[in-house]
Each structure stands twice: as structure tokens, then as C-alpha cells.
Amino acid sequence: MSASPANATGPSPFFVAGLLAVLFSAAAAIAFVGLRLQGAEAGLLVEEIFGAEPALPFGLELAGAATNANQQRSIRFARPAAEDGAPEPADEPNEVTILRYAGPGPVQRLFAPSPYAPDELARRVEEWKKEPNRDLEAVLGTGEIRFGRWRVDYVHVRLYFKNGTFQDVVRVNTTVGDLTQVLFAFWPKGSEAADPQRLVPLLEAMRFDAMWEDYQTRKAAEEGVERGADAATNVPG
């Protein structure tokens, strides 16, 4: 997969209907249906992505891990509430989930354009503002985040909920080789300060170079690499 953004012209009226809400929306209080990963297995997944002693930004801490029958695995990080009850920063994500898929298909769909026209999406948002009687996802922008020798695609969405609240989420294609995965970063509900570029410190904490080198080694040895498994991958520049 090219490292260029899904739409190089800037913000796009994509509307990826329901995929995020169905799969993994902590904001909508929809739980991931699956089995908890055992502590050792969760630790291995965290170590594979972030290293043995990850130093995560934004005060994020490991909050859980799960898997399901489709071989999708996830790790979830959250920022604990302040003990003194102080409000949390509105310009930082307070929860991050990395979802590891069994193949590239789901990743490609999450970053594919929607058939909805801009005026249709605008009409739906205006209807929600007048009467929030359904959940709605609207894309605010697409583009790239650059760090080190990597550049990755993002989609910045706003989730409108039928209870009248909204939450911004940035999803990032963090696929490396055949490790097909997407990072979902949630900002506090009601915050309009979400900025995809704020995710640079988190992405820098991920072991992109090491995962790429491991993939190249396995590919050269033809060990555990299926044809087409890297269809959604980023490549270093």
C-alpha cells in the first residue's frame, strides 16, 4: 500500500459507516465481544509493538487486551482520572486502542472512500444537530502523519451519538508488513481540540523499524508470510 494519503487533496467527505462504532467504540460504550488475553500474551503483544518497557505519552497506561473468533487482537490504553478530580487535557487523547487484524481487508475498508456525497453528509449532520436521534460518523479530515522515516495515513472522524454528545477519534494505519493493524485515538467527549499531529510522540514510541526488519527477515526466509498479507502496509521512506 502506498504511503500517500487516501485523498491527497486534504479534508475529505468520507463516511465510513459503522465500522468503528461496531468494532471498537469505547465512546459509545460498545464493548469488544471476545476473550480477554492472558496477561503474558497481552504483554507479548505490547512488547512487540512498543518494546519491553514502553514509555507512553499522555499518561496512558495499559487498560486491557482482548481477542475474538476472527483472530483480531486488541490492546487498550487509557489515562487514569486525576486523583484530585482536575479536568483532563482537552487537546490530548485520553484513550487509545490498537486493533491487530488477521488480514489487510479490514484496514483497507477503514481507509476507503465512501459513496456518500459531501452535501448528503452535511445534511445528516445538520439533522443530528436539530434532533440527535441516531448515531452518526462524519469525517473531518484525512492526511498523513510523518515521524522519522515513516509516514502513515490517518482519518479524523467525529462520532455523533443519539444522546446528544460527540467525540473525536483519529484512526491511523499503523500496518507494518503483514502485521495489519489500526490505532484508534479517542479524545475527551465534547472536545473540539483533536489534532492528528499530536499523535507523533505515540507513534514514535512504536517499534516501526524493528517490526519492519522482522517482517523483512521472515519474508526473505519465507516463514509465516502469506501472499498478499502486506497489501495494507506502510513502508519506510
- For residue 166, the model assigns a pLDDT of 95
Residue 217, domain member (yes or no): yes
Residue 128, domain member (yes or no): yes
Give the Cβ contact number of residue 84 at 10 Å: 5
**Interatomic CA distance for residues 157 and 94, integer angstroms:** 16
**Domain encompassing residue 156:** 19-79+90-221
Burial category of 69 from C-beta neighbours within 10 Å (exposed 0-12, middle 13-18, buried 19 and up): exposed
Residue 30, domain member (yes or no): yes
Residue 235, domain member (yes or no): no
Greatest extent of the chain over all pairs of C-alpha atoms, in Å: 59
Per the prediction, the chain carries an average pLDDT of 82
**Interatomic CA distance for residues 93 and 146, integer angstroms:** 18
Residue 205, domain member (yes or no): yes
Mean pLDDT score, 153-164? 94
Residue 3, domain member (yes or no): no
At 159-203, the pLDDT tens digits run 999 999 999 999 999 999 999 999 999 999 999 999 999 999 999
**Interatomic CA distance for residues 167 and 227, integer angstroms:** 38
Count of domains observed in the chain: 1
Mean pLDDT score, 128-146? 92
Residue 141, domain member (yes or no): yes
What is the pLDDT confidence band of residue 113, given thresholds at 50, 70 and 90?
confident
Q: Is residue 52 predicted with pLDDT exceeding 50?
A: yes
What is the pLDDT confidence band of residue 35, given thresholds at 50, 70 and 90?
low
- CATH code (residue 198): 3.40.1000
Give the Cβ contact number of residue 111 at 10 Å: 21
- For residue 38, the model assigns a pLDDT of 58
Q: Is residue 145 predicted with pLDDT exceeding 70?
A: yes
Residue 229, domain member (yes or no): no
- For residue 11, the model assigns a pLDDT of 32
